[in-house]
Chains A and B, each alone.
Chain A
Amino acid sequence: MRVQKLKLRVFGVLRNHSDANGMLELELESPVDVETCAELKDELIRHFERNGAGFDPGILRECALADEESVLSPGERLRTLQNLALLPPVCGG
């Protein structure tokens, strides 16, 4: 799947870097092909390491990608780039 512009819903500590609707928009320097969630996350880390993010890109290593149905495992094949969420470590209760 070819990726360049990406819009992710974010939560928790990442909300400090989102717009008022909790969305984080970014544009990679050039289009890249990714197959799995882990590959997409690697691209995000590379992007923020190069461009700065206002936060430690290392935090992304602890984040999971998810949709409204479930948390996606690193090896899961990406079916769409729509309605993806980036979830930092959770702390409910």
Chain B
Amino acid sequence: MNRIEIEVSEAPLDAGNLDVSSWIRPDCGACDLFFGTVRARNHGREVIAVSYDAYVPLARRELQRIAEEALTQAGTHGTVVIRHRTGKLGVGELSVLIAVVTPHRAEAFQACRYVIEELKKRAPIWKKEFYRDGETEWLKGHALCGGI
């Protein structure tokens, strides 16, 4: 039985206060965690903050689909937790958290990698960077399948 938890919200993600024990299950022996954080430099520019915009209802559905696919393509079962921030974040803050719990480690790593790569290509989420010099920029990303 798979268990999938998806959250896209302004709620801060605190690496020191995660409910990891609630994700662990007796039929699984591996838990792989991935954190994405706000980096202080991008393409040579000094970043002081990032703002995430999201189409939340669609993002939740798309992340649910990605989580299910991740377990299927890894040929396993388990738990997938995906949490993505919206709103303005400072350097060093967690923007995304992915936890994958599976019976064995190889599948946990594989599924976790699948989730972050697909999230970047498919989740309706956008990133605006704020630079030290006062400028801002929406980052260019991946066109969704509707793009021509």
Q: Please encode chain A, from 9 to 40, with 1 for each CB lying within 8 Å of some chain B CB and 0 for all others.
A: 10111010000000000000000000001100
Residue of A nearest to B140 (CB): A89
By size class, the interface of chain A is 20 to 34
Shortest distance from the beta carbon of B96 to any chain A beta carbon, whole Å: 6
Are A63 and B55 CB-contacts (below 8 A) given A89-B141, A91-B126, A93-B95? no
Interface size on B, residues (CB 8 A): 34
**Residue from the list A11, A13, A74 in contact with B124, Cβ < 8 A:** A11
Say yes or no: is B125 at the interface (Cβ < 8 Å to chain A): yes
Cβ–Cβ < 8 Å partners of B126 in chain A: 11-13, 88, 90-92
A64 to B146, CA, bound (A): 4
A9 touches B55 (CB 8 A): yes
A89 touches B120 (CB 8 A): no
Are A66 and B146 CB-contacts (below 8 A) given A15-B53, A91-B141, A93-B95? yes
Say yes or no: is A69 at the interface (Cβ < 8 Å to chain B): yes
Say yes or no: is A73 at the interface (Cβ < 8 Å to chain B): yes
Are A90 and B148 CB-contacts (below 8 A) given A9-B55, A11-B53, A68-B57? no
Residue of A nearest to B65 (CB): A70
A85 to B148, CA, bound (A): 16
Lowest 5 A-B CB distances belong to which pairs?
Answer: A64-B146, A92-B125, A91-B141, A12-B126, A64-B144
* Residue ranges of B at the interface with A (Cβ–Cβ < 8 Å): 36, 52-55, 57-59, 61, 84, 95-96, 116, 119-128, 138-148
Q: Could you give 25 example pairs across A and B, Cβ below 8 Å?
A: A11-B55, A38-B148, A41-B148, A61-B147, A62-B148, A64-B143, A64-B147, A66-B124, A66-B144, A66-B146, A67-B58, A68-B58, A71-B145, A72-B146, A73-B146, A85-B55, A87-B146, A90-B121, A90-B141, A91-B139, A91-B140, A91-B141, A92-B96, A92-B123, A92-B124
